[in-house]
Amino acid sequence: MVFDTTYGNTEMAARAVAEVLGWHGPVRTLRAEDVKPGHLEGVTLLVVGTPSRSSRPSDAVRGWLAGLALGQLAGVRVAAFDTRLDDERHRLAAWWARRVGRAADAVLARLEDLGGESAAATDGYRLERVTGPLLEGETDRARAWAEALALAEGAPRAAGSAEGSASDP
Ligand SMILES: Cc1cc2nc3c(=O)[nH]c(=O)nc-3n(C[C@H](O)[C@H](O)[C@H](O)COP(=O)(O)O)c2cc1C
């Protein structure tokens, strides 16, 4: 689990996601700026959480992703989420997102460019203001997203081993 945060909200969502993923297997949670090349070795599922910055990923996430080599994520399942202003309260940010897209989608596209295989639709957790807090229930939504992700990752492997077949999707 790789994240960036300025005000702590993306970290809170990332730690919630990591906690749930941790019920299914070992998880390491790192800030983007602290990720070293060796940290990606042996990783089967890479989840990235980013704050929204003008509907794009934060500089730290973009910088880290820019430094990865094409093909480096071959065979790695990837997923991304962002934290974002609540569309209902922040109409300008919502309008901008409709034009530019969402930060998490940009992250997922980059992860796929690097060779990763998308493991889940992106998600976004809504904030009351730029500095937070997350709206009520959003951390629970992050947990549910992580649980669905973990189950989806676990299911094909379990079916494959039970049937001794590598043909599961
Ligand atoms: C310079 C700046 C630009 C931002 N642009 C957007 C934006 O385009 N859309 C949006 O939903 N939130 C935007 N935000 C609010 C961020 O979503 C929010 O600050 C961030 O997700 C909080 O995450 P953090 O607590 O982990 O730092 C912006 C915040 C800053 C400081």
Domain CATH code at residue 101: 3.40.50.360
> Is position 168 within any domain?
no
Across residues 104-117, what is the average pLDDT?
A: 98
> Is position 92 within any domain?
yes
> Is position 128 within any domain?
yes
In this predicted structure, the answer to whether residue 80 has a pLDDT above a threshold of 70 is yes
Assigned token pair, 127: 């904030």
Q: How far is the CA of 62 from the centre of ligand 1 (A)?
A: 14
Tell me which DSSP letter residue 69 carries.
Answer: P
- CA-nearest residue for atom 1, ligand 1, is 53
- Ligand 1 atom with minimal separation from the 87 CA: 11
**Alpha helical stretches, state H, the chain:** 9-22, 59-66, 91-100, 103-113, 138-163
- Ligand 1 atom with minimal separation from the 55 CA: 8
> Is position 123 within any domain?
yes
* CA pair distance 25, 27, nearest whole angstrom: 6
Which residue range(s) make up the domain with 128? 2-163
Across residues 125-150, what is the average pLDDT?
A: 98
> Is position 106 within any domain?
yes
Handedness of CA 72, 158, 149, 42 (dihedral sign): negative
Handedness of CA 90, 96, 101, 103 (dihedral sign): negative
The whole-model pTM stands at: 0.92
- Ligand 1 atom with minimal separation from the 90 CA: 11
> Is position 72 within any domain?
yes
Tell whether omega for the bond before 133 is within 30 degrees of 0, i.e. cis: yes
> Is position 157 within any domain?
yes
> Is position 169 within any domain?
no
Q: How many domains does the chain have?
A: 1
- Give the pLDDT band of residue 159 (cuts 50, 70, 90): very low
* pLDDT tens, position by position, 14-71: 999 999 999 999 999 999 999 998 999 999 999 999 999 999 999 999 999 999 999 9
* CA pair distance 83, 37, nearest whole angstrom: 26
